[in-house]
Amino acid sequence: MITVLAWLIYGFLLAPTLVVVIASFNAGAFLTFPPQGLSFRWYNTFFHNRVFLDAIETSLYVALIATGVSGIISTMAALYAARSTPSVSGAVRLALTLPLILPEVLSAIGLLFFFYATGLGVRYSIALVFGHVLITLPFIYINVSNALRGFDWSWEMAARSLGASPVRAFRRVTFPLILPGIMNGCLFAFIASFDSFSTSFLLKDIGTATLPIQLFDYLRLNFTPEAAAVSTVTVAVTTFLVFVMEKFILPTSLDEKEK
């Protein structure tokens, strides 16, 4: 009974995505379901649409930078919190997870006021990248903190007692053991940044458009299956990243941990 209920819940959650995927193969001129025939016509249109390709490039650029920066900050914060007293650890956890508690649009508005008040404005996508770093911090911090929860610090102390420097002990002992948590957090952070709309919409500079914003602008004037094709490609890329993570990266990290 529980298994059937679980499959029903999964089906309910995946049904909208499945509808979009099927609609992307629509041979008709409008986005309808069920499709009026099957065709790759709109995928061909999408891959020759420079506007959407530029938007994807911008989203990837911002997501990669934001994930890298937040990965470094969150990992360092998690390591510091794990070595600190409970009160300090709780304060760090609250500070790093606060963007996850607040509505994204409120965080974006606050950043918008901050950048204008400080005179930095929203030029050169500085505010955009900063905003994406802020919203991705909690995902990596929570995952790294969970990885550190069962970590035995005596292993690092043993490496130090054998002559390893703090950096070498971290690189050879601590880092491989918490790598699955870091990679999981970075994957969630990348997806959250890539799909973010509110932060991108409020903090982007003139002439910059991420994929969610470009899709929003496109659907205001057009209602063709090209939008579904774009969405299907992004879902496929995300699924591929999760598959690579589960099949290749995490097993390797866990093998190193067992050694």
Cβ(156)–Cβ(149) below 8 Å: no
Average pLDDT, integer, range 222-226: 79
87 falls in which pLDDT band (50, 70, 90)?
A: confident
Q: Does pLDDT of 203 surpass 70?
A: yes
Q: Is the dihedral of CA 159, 165, 166, 167 positive or negative?
A: negative
Instruction: Select from 17, 39, 45 the least CA-distant residue to 195.
Output: 17
Q: For residues 224-230, give the mean pLDDT.
A: 83
pLDDT at 154: 76
Give the percent of the chain with pLDDT over 70: 93
- Say if CB 58 and CB 122 are below 8 A apart: no
Output the CA angle 13-18-21, nearest 5 degrees: 145
pLDDT in the model for residue 120? 67
Q: What is the pLDDT of residue 124?
A: 55
Confidence category of residue 199, pLDDT binned at 50, 70, 90: confident
| pLDDT tens per residue across span 127-175 | 888 889 988 999 899 888 888 887 777 777 787 777 777 778 888 888 8
What is the distance between the alpha carbons of residues 130 and 114, in angstroms, rounded to a whole number? 11
pLDDT computed for residue 122 by the predictor: 56
Report the candidate in 47, 18, 38, 64 with the shortest Cα–Cα distance to residue 232: 18
Output the pLDDT for position 67: 92
Angle 205-208-210 (CA atoms, 0-180°, nearest 5)?
A: 120
Quick one: pLDDT at residue 249? 59
pLDDT at 37: 77
Residue 217, SS3 per DSSP: helix
Nearest to 192 by CA among 134, 135, 129, 131: 135
DSSP string for residues in 8-25: HHHHHHHHHHHHHHHHTT
The helix-helix angle for 50-83 and 126-149 (nearest 10°) equals: 40
At 123, the pLDDT band (50, 70, 90 cuts) reads low
- Distance CA(142)–CA(146), nearest Å, equals 6
Quote the pLDDT of residue 2: 76
Instruction: Encode pLDDT of 20-75 as tens digits.
Output: 888 888 877 777 777 777 888 888 888 888 888 888 888 889 999 999 999 999 99
pLDDT of residue 160: 77
Q: Find the helix or strand (DSSP H, E) in which 149 lies.
A: helix 126-149
Residue, of 28 and 226, whose pLDDT is higher: 226
- What amino acid occupies position 96? L
What is the Cα–Cα distance from 153 to 169, expressed in whole angstroms? 11
